[in-house]
Structure 1
Amino acid sequence: MPILFFLGIVIVVLAIIDIIWTILWVEGGAGFITKALSSSLWRVMSTFAHGNRKALRLAGPTMLTLTLLNWIFLLWLGWALVFSGSTNAITDTVNQTPIVWQNIVYYTGYTIFTLGLGDYSPASPFWQIMTAIASGTGMLFFTLGASYIISVVGAVLNKRSFSSSVIEIGTSSEEIVKDAWNGNDLSNMNLLLMDMSDQLSVLSMKQKAYPLLNYFHTTNKKEAIAIALPIIDDALSIIVYGMEAGTQPNPILIKKFRNCISNHLETLEATYIKSADEPLALPKLDQLKKDGLPVVKTDVFESQMAGLTERRKKLFGLLKEDNWQEKDLDL
C-alpha cells in the first residue's frame, strides 16, 4: 500500500535527521526527537527518584541506552513500513510461501543489522535498491552510534575530571584563596586559572554538543560539577572583590575564567537549569582575615557582591537541579 511506503520513508528520514542532528551538529544540541525523549524520561525518573542521587546515577546511562534503542526502533519501523508498501516487495526464496508481516519485520531487521540476505530477497530491481539503502542506514547508525557513545562517555569523564581538579585544590573557596596566598599576593593562581579555564571552555563546548551530559549524575561530591563550580566561582569572587588591590593574580586570566563560568552557566540554562529564587549565601572573609590575608571590610565585600545576584541564582539553580543542597558545599 503506497500510504505505508510513504509513511515509512517519512519515519526513516526523521530518524536519520535526528541521528545526524544529535551526533554531528555541534551547535545544534540534541535532535528534536532525542530532545523530547530525554526531557520526558528525565521528568519521569526525577519524579520517581525523589532526589535519591543513587537512583539518579542511573539516569545518564539509561537515557543514552534508550536514545540508541529509539533510533534502532525508528529505523526498523520505518523500513518495515516501506517494505510493507507492496505485496511483491520481497519473496521467500526457500519455501515460496506468501509473505506476512512477521517476514517483513524479520527481513528488515537482518537487512539493517547484518547487511546480508537470507531466506528472503527483494523481488525487483527497485526493491533491491531500497534494500541497499536500508543496509546503508544501518551502517550509518552503527558508525555514528559508536562514535556518539565514545564522545558522551569521554565528555562525562572530562566533567568529573574538572570537578575533581577543583576540589583537590581546596574543599572551599576560602581554602583555595588561603592556599594560593604566598605572603605577598595571589600570583600562585595564574597557572591554575589558565589551565582550568581551558578545561571549562572545552567542557562547555561538549555540553552544548551533547546535552545528554546533563543527566549523568554522581553520588560523589568531589566529582560533581554542581558543587565544584560554585566553589571555584566563590574563590574568584573573593579574589576580585574581597582582597585588597594589588594582591590579585593576572586580571586577564581572572576575566577569562569568570567568562568561561558565565558561558557554561548560559549553556546549562538553555538546556537544563533554571535560576533559583534565591542566590547562594555569600562566602565569609572572617577566617581569611584571621589567617593574615589582606581582605576588605565585610560591608564593602557584600556591596560589591550585590551585582552578582543573578549569577549566584544560576549557580544555586545548578546545585538544586543536580539534587544537591547548599549545605553540600561544605565538604
Structure 2
Amino acid sequence: MNIIILLIGILIVIVTNMDALSTILRINGGSKISNFVARNVWRTSVFISGKFSRVSILSNVGPLIVVTLFSLWAVLLMIGYGLIYNSYVHSIVETSTELPASITAKFYYVGYTLTSLGNGDLKTGNDFWRIISNFTGLNGMFLLSIAISYFIPLMNAVVKQRMLATYIANLGDTPTEIISNGWNGTDFNILHEQFKDLYPMILMQCEQQLAYPVLLYFHSENPKYSPQLNLAKLDEALSIQEVYNIDQSDKAYIWNNLRKAMNKYLKVTKNSYSFKTETVPDFPYQSKLESLTNQVSKETAKLRLATLKDRRAFIASLVKNDGWKWEKSMS
C-alpha cells in the first residue's frame, strides 16, 4: 500500500466534503474554495462581457457558478476516492479474471459507485474495500441529495432579492428622485413608511447572502431587478441625509435605522466579494436638491462627505463589478 497516495486521497475527500457542507448547510458566507472559484468565474465573465460588449452574458453566470461548484465537488470526490483505491493494487479487481484493475479502471469504479450506477464488471478485492466502497456510495448519495435540495431555497432567495431591488427601484430611478418623490413639501412621511418596510427586507437579504453566497452573482439585464445597483442608489440617498440633514423631523431616526441595515449588508458583501476598489465618485446632489440642502454650510457638508469616502468607493466598486456604470445609474 502506498501511504502517501492514500493520505492525499483522504485529505482531498475530507476537504471536499467540508467545503460542500460549509457552503450548503452553514450560514457563514460560504467556504474559501467555493468563494475563490465563484469570484474567478465571475471576474472572467465580467472581462469577457466587457470585451464583447455583451452584458447579457452576466445574466447566465449565477446558474453557471452553481453548476461549476457542484461539478467541482464531484470531480474532487472522484480524484480523492480514486487515489484511495489506487493506493492498494488489489483494492479493485476485474470480476471475470480476479486480476487487479488498472489505474483508470479504479477511477471508473469510483465514478459509478459515487452515483450508485454500478454495473458489475469491477468489484472490491476484499471485505475492507467493500466497506470503503459502501462509504463511497453513501458519500456520493448524501452530497447529491443535499446539492439538489439546495436549488429550491436558492431560487426562492433569488426571487426575494429581485423583489427587494424592484421595491427600491419603484422609489425612484436615482438617489435624488428617491428623495424628491418622498418629499411632500412639508415632510418625508411617505418615505418613512416605505423605509420601515425596507428595513426588514434588507436584513433578510443579508441573511440570505450569508446562506447563499452565490446570490451575489445572479445578475439581471434589467437595472430595475439589480439588487447591487438599487441598494447603491438607496445608500446614496441615505448619504444625502447624512451630509445635508434634509430630514430634521422626530422621525429622522428611520433613516438611521435603514443606514444600520445597509451597514450590515456592506459588511456581509465585503466578506464574500473581492475586487479592485474604484475611485470615490462625485457627489453632485446639492444643486439638484438645493431647497432641501441649503441648511448646511459647504464646509460642514464637505467634512461629513469625507467620512463616507471609503464607503462610497466600495459601493462604486460593487456597482461596476456587477456590470453597471455609476455615472449612468446615479444621475
Identity %: 25
Aligned residues: 325
Query: What amino acid maps onto 1:84 in structure 2?
Result: N
Match of 1:5 in 2: 6
TM-score w.r.t. the length of structure 1 is 0.86
Amino acid aligned to 1:317: S
User: Would you say 1:296 and 2:294 are equivalent positions?
Assistant: yes
Match of 2:86 in 1: 84
Letter aligned with residue 57 of structure 1: S
Q: Do structure 1's residue 202 and structure 2's residue 201 form an aligned pair?
A: no
Match of 1:308 in 2: 308
Paired position in structure 1 for 2:34: 34
Unaligned runs of 5+ in 2: none
Tell me by how many angstroms 1:115 deviates: 6.4
> What is the CA-CA distance between 1:205 and the residue it aligns to?
2.2
Distance 1:288 1:153, change over 3 A: farther
Contact 1:9 1:79 (8 Å CA) reproduced: yes
SS of match in other structure, 1:178: helix
The alpha-carbon deviation at position 245 of structure 1 amounts to 5.5
**Unaligned ranges ≥5, structure 1:** none
What residue is the counterpart of 1:161 in the other structure?
A: 163
> CA shift at 1:295, angstroms?
5.0
Q: Residue by residue, what CA displacement relative to the aligned partner does 1:23-82 show, whole Å, maximum 9, x if unpaired?
A: 22212x332322332333334333333264222333222222111100000111111121
Following the alignment from structure 1 to structure 2, what is the Cα–Cα distance between the partners of residues 245 and 190? 10
**Which residue in 2 is equivalent to 1:113?**
115
Note the C-alpha offset of 1:244.
Answer: 5.2
What's the TM-score once normalised by structure 2's chain length? 0.86
Q: Which amino acid aligns with 1:40?
A: N
Compared with structure 1, are the counterparts of its residues 245 and 44 closer, same or farther at alpha carbon in structure 2 (3 Å cutoff)? closer
Distance 2:32 2:183 in 1: 49
How many Å apart are 1:164 and its aligned residue?
A: 1.1
Q: Return the alpha-carbon distance in structure 2 between the equivalents of residues 4 and 285 of structure 1.
A: 69
| Match in the other structure for 1:283 | 285
8 A Cα contact 1:279 1:310, kept in partner: no
Q: Which amino acid aligns with 1:226?
A: Q
Q: Contact 1:243–1:296 (CA<8 Å) still a contact in 2? A: no
CA 1:316/1:86 → structure 2, altered by over 3 Å: closer, same or farther? same
Aligned partner of 1:61 in structure 2 is 63
SS of residue in 2 equivalent to 1:217: coil
1: distance between equivalents of 2:90 and 2:178?
73
> Which whole-Å CA distance do the structure 2 matches of 1:308 and 1:158 have between them?
29
CA distance in 1, matches of 2:91, 2:288: 79
One-letter amino acid matched to 2:170: E
Question: 2-side partners of 1:222 and 1:180: how far apart?
Answer: 19
Asked if the contact 1:285/1:298 (under 8 Å) is kept, the reply is no
Q: Aligned residue for 1:258?
A: 259
Three-state SS of the structure 2 residue aligned to 1:91 is strand
- Equivalent residue, structure 2, for 1:100: 102
Query: Cα RMSD over matched residues?
Result: 2.7
